[in-house]
Chains A and B, each alone.
Chain A
Amino acid sequence: MKKPEFDKSILIQEALKELPSPARRLFMKRGVTLGGLSLLSGCTVTDEASAERMLMKISRLNDDFQAWLFDPNKLAPTYPESMITRPFPFNAYYERDKIPEIDSDDYLLEVSGLVADKHSWSLDELYRLPQTGQVTRHICVEGWSAIGKWGGVTFATFLKRIGADLSAKYVGFKCADDYYTSIDMQTALHVQTLLTFSYDGKILPPEYGYPMKLRMPTKLGFKNPKHIVAMFVTNTYPGGYWEDKGYNWFSGV
């Protein structure tokens, strides 16, 4: 291909003829200001604390907006097993060597807050609940995604079984790895929200959250707690590990 010749000089000459000098100076000045705008990128906002407060306020409004947008009847897409990502990535706020080791014999799931039945659940009891499964996409807040297959009990079934106050605002979770998070009741009751005990047909392995992970294909990955040891129903905002550091709380997809 022939390289196009671009004769800038004609345009420049013509433009300069037309431009009176004060305007030219103004242009230079504006040029500097426009350059100054790029300083924003260094994240040296003059008043960092107030900018952060403003951003957090908007993030709370975004929580409300997402709760409004959330349609309990909309289902996350499901995929054929042939599309499962292998190996499914391990992801946590720590490395593999810190994965908690949990003894199934001693394990008990504590239940508290606005629930009628506060007895703790052994794994055998949980495994006896009606089981279902799904192949869905896990979307990480970092942007990557992976398709996996989880099996367990529909969380709504479990909440009804423990006599939870379904009009309460939040369900909070505490995990064996000191992780914690919380979700809105609407999402907790979504038909695809499962309390899962298996991954790809096998008992949930430690790296994916043994003995149980709350799996929600309608929320970002970090909202799906693993190694859950306690859960509670409440009307007081419980926050979360990443949420308290600045990730958006609702984080629905």
Chain B
Amino acid sequence: MNYGSINNNGFKTVNQNHKIIHPLWLRLGHWINLVALVIMVLSGWRIYNASPIFAFRFPDMATLGGWLGGALLWHFAAMWLVLCNGLMYLLLNIATGRFRKQFFPLRLRELLRDFAAALKGRLTHDTLTEYNAVQKLAYLFVIADIILLVLSGLVVWKPVQFPLLRELMGDYDNARMIHFLAMAALLAFVAIHVAMVALVPRTLIMMIRGR
């Protein structure tokens, strides 16, 4: 297999119109995740505004919930969606072997090569069916980041009930900071992710139709 290589000859190597690349469970999970995370981030901004960590607030117009109480209701409702959907994603990924197939092996040499190519704007997909090394890293990163969001969120919500996690996060105030920074990292991923989709719009169609 020759995936993730630098190739300027286009990607008509595989007839992509007849092969399902993203299974239905993955596509459903992706869009549910989008809705859930949009609710989490926008209500989270409103909660942040009630007692900002840094010297700025998010514009109230850009937040969800109307007031702190409303934002908390949204946040603690959508968290179940994030949790259940995320667990389902991880479970099905592992059970179907997709996780290992799509993300591994992730080799440092390929990563450096693909990263250099990406910076030069010359990174292309041989096929859309397989991820290049930068993509693998980016997706693994966001999976880990969302897990960190959930775990730090658990400590902010229940520092007394999760003593081990609380110690790992360095007590309540620190967990709050981690929760915020993990949100910022998620937004950084989303910015790049959406820019890449805009550059290769076919990937959006694929995430809707599956091929």
Contact = CB atoms under 8 A, between A and B. Distances in A.
Interface in A9-51: 9-12, 14-15, 17-19, 23-24, 26-27, 30, 37-38, 40-43
B163 A145 contact: no
A218 B162 CA distance: 12
Contacts of A70: 161
Interface string B46-59: 01101100000000
Most chain A CB atoms below 10 A, which of B61, B70, B171, B201: B201
The 10 closest A-B pairs by CB, nearest first: A7-B121, A246-B69, A4-B119, A142-B50, A55-B73, A142-B51, A143-B51, A58-B77, A144-B51, A6-B121
B59 to A, nearest CB: 10
Interface of B is mostly: helix
B72 A248 contact: yes
B68 interface: yes
Given A74-B163, A253-B158, A6 B35 contact: no
B38 A7 contact: no
B200 A62 contact: no
24 contacts: A4-B119, A7-B121, A10-B121, A15-B201, A18-B10, A18-B202, A23-B205, A26-B208, A40-B38, A40-B42, A41-B63, A43-B70, A58-B77, A77-B171, A139-B172, A140-B51, A141-B68, A141-B72, A142-B51, A143-B156, A245-B69, A248-B72, A248-B76, A252-B161
B124 A14 contact: yes
B157 interface: yes
Interface residues of A, number: 56
A217 B39 CA distance: 29
Nearest to B77: A58
B11 interface: yes
A69 B156 CA distance: 15
A76 interface: yes
Contacts of B160: 74-77, 217-218, 252-253
Contact of A5 (B120, B202, B208): B120
